[in-house]
Each structure stands twice: as C-alpha cells, then as structure tokens.
Amino acid sequence: MKIERLAEGISLKRSVDAGTADQRKAVQDIIYDVRKSGNAALHNYTERFDGVSLEELLVSEQEIEEATAALTVEQLAIIQEAADNIRLFHEKQIRNSWITTDDTGTMLGQKLTPLDAVGVYVPGGTAAYPSSVLMNTMPAKAAGVERIVMVSPPGKDGKLTPAVLAAAKIAGVTEIYKVGGAQAIAALAYGTETIVKVDKIVGPGNIYVALAKREVFGDVAIDMIAGPSEIAVLADDSAIASEVAADLLSQAEHDARACSVLVTTSMELAEEVSAEVNKQVALLPRRDIAAASINDYGRIVVCENMVEAVGAINELAPEHLEIVTYNSLEVMAKIRHAGAIFIGRFSSEPVGDYFAGPNHVLPTNGTARFSSPLNVDDFQKKSSIIMYSETAFRQNAEKIAAFARMEGLEAHARAIESRGANKLGK
Amino acid sequence: MKIERLAEGISLKRSVDAGTADQRKAVQDIIYDVRKSGNAALHNYTERFDGVSLEELLVSEQEIEEATAALTVEQLAIIQEAADNIRLFHEKQIRNSWITTDDTGTMLGQKLTPLDAVGVYVPGGTAAYPSSVLMNTMPAKAAGVERIVMVSPPGKDGKLTPAVLAAAKIAGVTEIYKVGGAQAIAALAYGTETIVKVDKIVGPGNIYVALAKREVFGDVAIDMIAGPSEIAVLADDSAIASEVAADLLSQAEHDARACSVLVTTSMELAEEVSAEVNKQVALLPRRDIAAASINDYGRIVVCENMVEAVGAINELAPEHLEIVTYNSLEVMAKIRHAGAIFIGRFSSEPVGDYFAGPNHVLPTNGTARFSSPLNVDDFQKKSSIIMYSETAFRQNAEKIAAFARMEGLEAHARAIESRGANKLGK
C-alpha cells in the first residue's frame, strides 16, 4: 500500500455507481410492466434473468424446513446467537409514544406506530448473506412491524440459499418470495396478485435494484442507496500492524471498489501495515478482488498528530471506523461523522458485521455526515398529537388568528374564530 | 360538497406534480451550471427568474434590522411566542447518546451527533410564510445544528419579505441568502464561492425546487417532497357543522389541489357541513382557490359506524386529521396513519399550523403510512458504538470466524483470528 502525508484535506477516491441511461430505462420499463401485468411479469423476468421457470413465487414451509435441515447444528446455533444479540441491541432502541400536559389541560406529544409492512431485499448468488437477512429484518421486528416480506432471486435450481432461508426463519420473516431484481422492488412497491405491497423497502442489491429503489422512492420509503463498503482505521503506535492489515483486507475482499484507509500518527506503523497488507493479501482466496481494491482505493495517510488525524476522519465520514489508539474513548468523543465506531483492538470490524448486535447496514460514501445505521426509528413513525383545551384555545385564539392573517390566510383565521360563535359544546 | 356512502375502500383523489421531462432537464441544467460556475450562475438565474440584479447574495444585518422594524410590536410578539412553543416541543425530542455495558466489559451503544449544517428553503412571493421559517429551522436548532442557512428568492425590489426575515432572526438562522429555485438547492448541495455546502436541505418549494431536491438527494439529505395540503375530519354527531366546515376550508384555501375530506357516522352532520361549506366559501378572499379545491378534491364520506370510519382514515393516512367525536382519545388510539392528529373541537387545525408547538411540516399524499412530521431526529444522526472487551472477544471469536466462513468471506475470519497470535497488547 502506498503511504502519503496528509495534504490539505483528505479527498477520498470513492466510487458510486449511478447507473447508465440505458440501465435506468430498463428499470423503468420493468417497473411499468410489473404494475401492468403483475405476477405474469414477475414470472417472465425470473425466467429471463434468473434462468428458471417457477410454479410458485412463495417459498413453502417445506422449503424452509429443508433449508434449515441443510445447515449444521453449530451453524444454526451461531445464527441464532447473532440474532439474539441483534434483537437485544435493537430492542433497546424502541421508543414510546409520549405526551406533555400543562395546567390548562392541553396535551401535546408524539404517537409512535410501527410500519404495517416492510420488504427486505436479499441478493442472490455469492452475495446471499444470512447476516444481511438478520440485520435488515430484526430492526423492523423490534419496532413491531407485523408483516415482513423477503424477496430474493432464485438460483437456476429454483431455490434460495439454505443459510438465507434459515436466517429468515430465525429473524421472523413472515413471507418469502423467489423473485429478485427491479421486478421484485416493483412488486413490493406496487403489489401484484400474490404480493401485497409494503410501506418500506430495505436491503442491498445490484445496480438494477438500487435504481429501482430510487424510482419507487416516495411511493414507498426506502433505506438508502448503498455504495461499496469502506473502512477507516485510526491508529497510533499502540496498534499492531498485522491486525490492522487484516482488518483493512476484510473490507477489501468485499468488492474491487471497496475502500480501505489507514489514518495514523505513526510512520513506523504505516510502513509495517503496508508490508503486512502485501503479505496477507497474497494468501486470501479472494485475493484478486482484495488486491484490486487495495491498489485502486486503499490508502495510508500519515498525520502530524491526533488532532489532524481526527480531522481527516471527520472529513472522510467513513462507513466503518476502527480506533486503535491510547485513550481510544477520548478520541471517539471527537468523532462527529462515522457509521459505526469500533473501539480498541478487540473490536475488529467483523465483530460488528455478524455478531455484537449493532446493525451492519451503515451509511457509505460520506453520507455518515447526515445518515445513521439502520435502526428501529426507521420502522417506527410518529404522528403529532395536539389536544388544545378550551382554556388554552381561548387564551391563544386571537394570536393564532392574527398569525394566519399575517400570512394572508383568512380561512385559517376564520376557522379559529368559528369557535367563538358557540359556547361549550352543543 | 358532494356526500357519498363509504364504498369498498376509500380511494382518495390526490394530485402530486411529478414534473415534466422538460422541467427535469431544466433543473439538471441549472444544477450543472451552478456546480460549474458558482456565484456567477446564481446571479444570472436570479436576474432571469426573479427579475433583479443583486450586488450581494448575503442578507445584511441592516436588512434584517429594517425588516424587524417593519413589523408591529404585536406581530413580533406573536412570532416570538410561537417560536417559544415550537422550541419547547422540539427540545423534548432531543435524544442522548446511550451505551449498554455487560459484565465482560463490552460496551455497545449509539452516539448521537447533530448535523453540521442545514439549508432551509423558503419560497418567495405570497408563499413566503414566517411560520414555515420557524417550523423548518427550530427542529434543527433544537437538535444542536450550528450552521443554519436560509435561502429564498428576492422580490423585484431585491428584498425578502420582512416577516420572513424577522422570523429567521427569531428562529436563529445563521446565514440568509437571496437566491431561490433550483439554483438555490444546487448552491446548498454543492457550494459556491460564498455559500458553503450543507448536509441536509429542508423546506417547501415549487416544482423546480422539488425536482432539484430529488436530483441532489443522496449527495445531501432532503426532508421530503411535499404534495398539496390535506385535511381529514373524523366526526360524529357531537361535532358542530360550522366549525368542521371552517376547518375544511382552511386547507382548501391553500391550493386548488388541496384535499379536504369529512369522514362521518352522521348523515345529518354530513348535510349540515355540506351546506355550511357552500355558505362560508363564498365569503372567503381566496374563494376561487378554495372553491376549486372543494369541487375537485373535497369529499364527504358517510360511514355505518366508527369502526368503518377509523378504517377509512387509516386507509387515507391523511396529513392532518381532526377527531371530533365522543371519546375522541379512544378513537385516536385506533389511528395508525396520520401526520398530525388534532383532538376535540378546540384543536382546530390552524392551532397546529402556527402556534401549539408540534411541527406543521407533515407527510402528505398517504406517506404518513411510513413518514413522520419534521422532528429533531431528522437533524441528529447516530453512530454505532462497539467496544468489545478481550473477554467478550475470546468468548466469541470462533463463532464470529465461523459465521464469516459460512458467508465465504475468509479475510473477515482471518481478521478475527489475527488477534489470536498476540496476547495482551504489544
């Protein structure tokens, strides 16, 4: 890995695929077709894109049982334990409706209600990750969402990956359909004869899925359009180079466009990590992907001091941030922008990918400046509660009407004044 | 107003302007131009669209003082009192960072951080509402956002409306620029020589503003794309027809495409409200707009009973909902989808538009199914905190590595196992 000194600002090379005009057109056509032809369109596209002709889109109870049986007891136990940790962390986020009252008898507040129905997209093939099923489903479950609909493209054998189905069962998915791509997003957003539409769609996918989510945004809610994975390690000379290198590579193996960055105050560490990355990458099964990612997007940036280093991290707003320094909690306090912050050498990033409990669906591409990890708030919406007492009304009616007239909205003023003509009730 | 019996489902006619292909192209061109030419582009478009050539985009302290002086003491006091109420309600929503610890010394949690900078769009002309300045600014202020940038198109005299400037000062806006339209959104999203870019853009606007927000979405956060205003009144025979009619008209006067609906269990009330609306609308200054709205989008729907009526409301997911019934709190408990719920006859909708404290920026067009009123959460983002102790790490390392291998991500497993080679620290 190349080592550089921090220049004026740290402008990170990142790659977000915005899609071509042709891809956008293709996605619009698919959505139009699904809205028009429903299931027939889903079956057609599944034949065309996934190379399989299905009798039924819905995954049967028997298929789920078979999938569960295909996993070892140990594998099921690990998925279950991860699910329990994720449930626990997300249940702590559940918020209650609240009100305030005052001595006039006025009541103001927020009523919190879970969404009715959520769709979870799970990619197929090698990207069919059970952890992704857990991370996208369980915040919705914790929020109290009753209907959770999973969609995923079938393999050529017409089946979904066993680990994905087993995770779906453990996570509490209520319906699973074998359909993927833009057609699955269209079905979730607008409904077909068998798939009842949902209120929000979450989960990662390829460029067609991302473009389809962007198209349906507004008609339903979506989570975010995720870019390639990113890790920044903020380290001083207390860090161990082999561990830092291994963590950088754990992101690099995801995607040739993944972005792994070390920001450090130690030139010695920088040099050691650079050498370690070169050594370790050669031994990885996915070394082609990891090496391409490190070459194109990997960076080691050496800073004069920790203040400068923290400034660089806040400028990056990385998806994952590891802090491996003396006084790492003090350093953490100064971080304003990061999706997830891993503190200390035992908080290796994969700890959070699978197991600890916090979500692995995180803001990429600098959007940690304004976005949050997927969380329970994403599945609970608020309604304002306004109950004015007669006393409060009479105290303030004149002022409210005057405000309305200041804005030139006479009917608003008269709505207030219409209460003057009547005394208490009928 | 026409009266109808509830049919199978209540499909509401709503109108959302998605923009034409020409409008989208125009907006894309403007954004491109602002990104390329910065301030020069802003000055050009302001001359072209607002008909005024400005020396300075930034509103001066003197202009703000003059605006304040142009309002009466009473007007300023009303804006101040509304602002205080809004501040109070939103400050109750502020959330703290939180952690959980367990007996292994593991720490998990969420770190909450306000956004660094927020842009508030305020329309010009007759839609330049001081209440809109308060409602869009004060949740950001309550969240702790330090930089709040207001933009608004100048009149032909090169000035902004005094009430808007006075409200901006009261609300705590930190910078105000005289620029509107898609060019203002581009400047907020990407920055120019004088306007430093922000992280999130909120506030209503015309179709060009809405399309521009959609274009920049992802590079910055946006609030929502609002449709025309809506009110649903859920009433039984305890309601007073003249009041219900006045409230329906208070939304109708906003926009010829605004949507006012009465859902009631009382045919008598339905008939009285219909007559009252016809009577009152004729007396309104904005009667042309209100009458068009009532004719095209107004409805009175009579239901068999309250269960049916509540079902209809949940299907509508209205922006504003008034409940004027016996046991109105009991009825409220059954509402799942509404932006703001006004309870009882003294909670006329304009009470919330200006004064009570809850936000008037609300989800329209059925998006209350999955969206919330503008609130403090929109301006505070979360970072996950993961600090695994060595004990927790050693207890779980094997399981985490096994999970990674189940997903075919060997580098993830090795990142975990890299910690095995070293004992405690260096």
Give the CA dihedral B59, B63, B69, B75, nearest 10 degrees.
-20
- A313-325 mean pLDDT: 97
Cβ pair A286, A254 in contact under 8 A: no
- Give residue B420's pLDDT: 82
- Which residue of chain A is at minimal alpha-carbon distance from B381? A372
Beta bridge partners of B221: B200
Model ipTM? 0.94
Nearest C-alpha neighbor of A373 from the set A340, A325, A336: A340
Taking the Cβ of residue B278 and every Cβ of chain A, the question of whether any pair is shorter than 8 Å is answered with: no
A243 as an active site residue: the answer is no
Residue B377 has pLDDT above 90, yes or no: yes
Rounded distance between C-alpha atoms, residue B413 and residue A73, angstroms: 20
Alpha-carbon A227 to chain mean position: 11
- A64-68 mean pLDDT: 96
Q: Which CATH architecture has domain B21-222?
A: 3-Layer(aba) Sandwich (3.40)
- Give residue A424's pLDDT: 46
Taking the Cβ of residue A354 and every Cβ of chain B, the question of whether any pair is shorter than 8 Å is answered with: yes
Those of residues 366-385 in B touching chain A at CB distance below 8 A are 367-373, 375, 377, 381-385
- Chain position carrying tokens 């990662």: A204
Q: Using an 8 Å CB-CB cutoff, list chain A residues near B238.
A: 425-426
- Which residue of chain B is at minimal alpha-carbon distance from A336? B113
- A393-419 mean pLDDT: 95
Burial class (CB in 10 A: 0-12, 13-18, 19+), A39: middle
Work out the minimum CA distance from B344 to partner chain A, whole angstroms: 7
> Which residues of B are known to be catalytic?
319-320
Beta bridge partners of B98: B110
Neighbours of A398 (CB within 10 A): 15
Q: Which CATH architecture has domain A3-16+227-356?
A: 3-Layer(aba) Sandwich (3.40)
- B36-45 mean pLDDT: 97
- Give residue A389's pLDDT: 94
- Chain position carrying tokens 């202009």: B63
Q: Binding site for Zn(2+), residues of A?
A: 251, 254, 353, 412
Cβ pair A39, A193 in contact under 8 A: yes
Contact A370 B381 (CB under 8 A): yes
Work out the minimum CA distance from B280 to partner chain A, whole angstroms: 9
A319 as an active site residue: the answer is yes
Contact B411 A290 (CB under 8 A): yes
Q: Which of B253, B268, B403, B417 to mutate to test the interface with A (most CBs of A within 10 A)?
A: B403
Where are the domains positioned within chain B? 3-14+227-356, 21-222
Contact B354 A404 (CB under 8 A): yes
- B350-374 mean pLDDT: 95
Residue B237 has pLDDT above 70, yes or no: yes
CATH number attached to the domain at B3-14+227-356? 3.40.50.1980
B10-19, B230-239, B343-352: least confidently modelled range: B10-19
Given B338, B343, B411, which is nearest A286 (Cβ)? B411
Mean confidence (pLDDT) of chain B:
94
- Give residue A14's pLDDT: 73
Q: Binding site, residues of A?
A: 121, 183, 206, 229, 251, 254, 320, 353, 407, 412
What are the C-alpha distances in Å from B263 to residues A219, B91, B300? 24, 34, 6
Model pLDDT for residues A330-375, shown as the tens digit of each residue = 999 999 999 999 999 999 999 999 999 999 999 999 999 999 999 9
What class has domain A21-99+115-222? alpha beta
For B100, residues 6+ apart whose C-beta sits below 8 A from its C-beta are: A89, A92, B107, B108, B109
Rounded distance between C-alpha atoms, residue A330 and residue B265, angstroms: 61
Q: Using an 8 Å CB-CB cutoff, list chain B residues near A252.
A: 411
DSSP-assigned states of every residue in A254-303: T-TT-EEEEEES-HHHHHHHHHHHHHHHTT-TTHHHHHHHHHHH-EEEE-
For B266, residues 6+ apart whose C-beta sits below 8 A from its C-beta are: B235, B236, B237, B239, B302
